[in-house]
Structure 1
Amino acid sequence: MQFLTRYLPPFLVSWLLTFTLASLFHSQYVVNQLVKVGVVVGINDRLSLTFEDWLGLLPTYGVIIAIACLIAFLVASLLAKKLTHYRISLHVLAGVVAFTLVLLAIESLMNIHIIAGARGWGFYAQLIAGATGGYVFARLSQTAKD
């Protein structure tokens, strides 16, 4: 039970932040591409699209992110028991690796970019979301002895 109380709340917070950033980066990448071809997108449309993307991506991309981060953070936590001085770095790297594997696996298996905002610079923005989630998880799950 101690495991759940120590790791579940930090995981849920980090996952929610990670997914929200990934969804936000996706939405803004898509809007940016529309603007580049001359479409006028007002602030209300940007906000509406961002919120609708968040809701629409939650049951699919959100679940995929949760599973990938769960596995990645578990591996990082196990490694951090041996490499205690690198705990935060290991979790940040785990978040980046999780997103890299998910995006590359989806692209190679389906031969499509399921997340339109993961093309070009959007791919790196997705990795930043993963890194942020890893950092937040590492900090929130840290104890005084870590």
Structure 2
Amino acid sequence: MPQPTHPGRGDIADCFENLLTTKETPMPDQTPAQIAYQAYGDTTGGLNHLGKPMPAWDDLPDTIRTAWAAAATAAAQHGILVSDPEYPATLAGGHALILQYGDCEFITSCQCGHDIATHRPDQLDLNAIATAWEHHVIPS
């Protein structure tokens, strides 16, 4: 699927629609939890809080991986993670658009925790979502 490399203000809704109709969604190589875990290891020389070598991410028990995910989410929602100010509307910039489906509704929010909109599937307005998110990310 062709993806625009740098969508302009008028192309955001088109890019969003492409993502909704694509079976494959590009995902980052690592989750925020994995990035945080790696950063912890980088600062401790690869040692855990007991001074023992940290296991690989895939070797961690589910409860520990869930805890790292919760910590990374909380940090992102409180603006603690360092973002890339040059590209705010990205995962690295801290303001990626998040689309979730739950309880027969599409729920959109910003990665930073700002709620954008909630729509029933038959009333999904991609232009309204894109415009509201754009105003949040790039205030005028």
Normalising by the residue count of structure 2, what TM-score does the alignment of the two structures yield? 0.29
Greater fraction helix: 1
Larger radius of gyration: 2
Greater fraction strand: 2
Q: Which has the higher contact order (CA 8 A, sep 6+)?
A: 1
Normalising by the residue count of structure 1, what TM-score does the alignment of the two structures yield? 0.28
